[in-house]
Amino acid sequence: MDYNTKRKKMALPEYGRNIQNMVDYLMTIEDREKRNKSAQTVIDVMGNLFPHLRDVQEFRHKLWDHLAIMSDFQLDIDYPYDPPTPESLKERPNTVPYTKHRIKHKHYGRTMELLIQEADNFEGEERDIIIEQLANHMKKSYLAWNKDAVEDHMIFSDLEEMSRGKLKVPEGTQLADSKTLVSAPKKKKVKKKK
C-alpha cells in the first residue's frame, strides 16, 4: 500500500498531491522550452483551484512564487516575476509597534479617553449633549464587562475623573436605562405568504 505518511512531504499541501506530482514532473523535463510551457500549464491548473482569484495580477504572482516553493527552488524556468529565495521565507516579520498608553479604566477603552479629551473643545449646549452621549456610552461599555446594574453617579464620577475635572455632567441628566443599553436588537417579523 502507498500511504501519504510514506510519501515525500509536500511544501504546500493546500494544492494537493496531484499538483505536487506535476511540479515533480517539471523537474524531470530536460528541454527548457517545453519546461517553460509545462510550468505555465501547471500555473493555470493551480489557478483553476481558485477561480475567483485566477485573473488577479497579485494572485498570479503568488502562484509563481508557490511553484518555486513547491519545487524547493530547484526549478530552472523563465519566471515572469522574481522568485522568492529560501532565505526570504525564513525571515521573521517586523514586530508590530504597540502603544504604551496606560489606561486607568480599561473597561472604557483608549478611544473613550480620546473622545473625552476632544469633548473639552466644545462649548454650550453642544458640549452638554456630547457629555451626555459620552456618559451613556461609558455606561454601555461598563455593562459589557459587568452585567450587574451600574449607578449613574458612578459613571458621572468616572467621567469627571477621566477628564481631570474638566467635564461635569449637567444637573438633572438621566442616563439611558441599563436594559435598553444592552438589549438585543429586535428581529423583524416575516409575514408568511398564504
How is residue 3 written as a grid cell? 500511504
181 backbone dihedrals φ, ψ, rounded to 5°: -75, -35
How far is 95 from 85, CA to CA, in rounded Å?
21
Task: Scan for cell 515533480, then name that residue.
Answer: 24
Is the pTM here over 0.85, yes or no? no
pLDDT at residue 185 is higher than 90:
no
What is the average per-residue pLDDT within 41-50?
A: 92
pLDDT tens digit string along 46-85? 999 888 887 787 898 999 999 999 999 999 999 999 999 9
pLDDT of the residue at 72: 92
Lowest mean pLDDT among 13-27, 43-57, 77-91, 177-191: 177-191
Of 57 and 92, more confident = 92
Exposure string (b/e) for 110-135, b if CB count within 10 Å is 16 or more? eebeebbeebeeeeeeeebebbbebb
Domain limits, the chain: 9-90, 110-173
Share of the chain above pLDDT 90, in %: 36
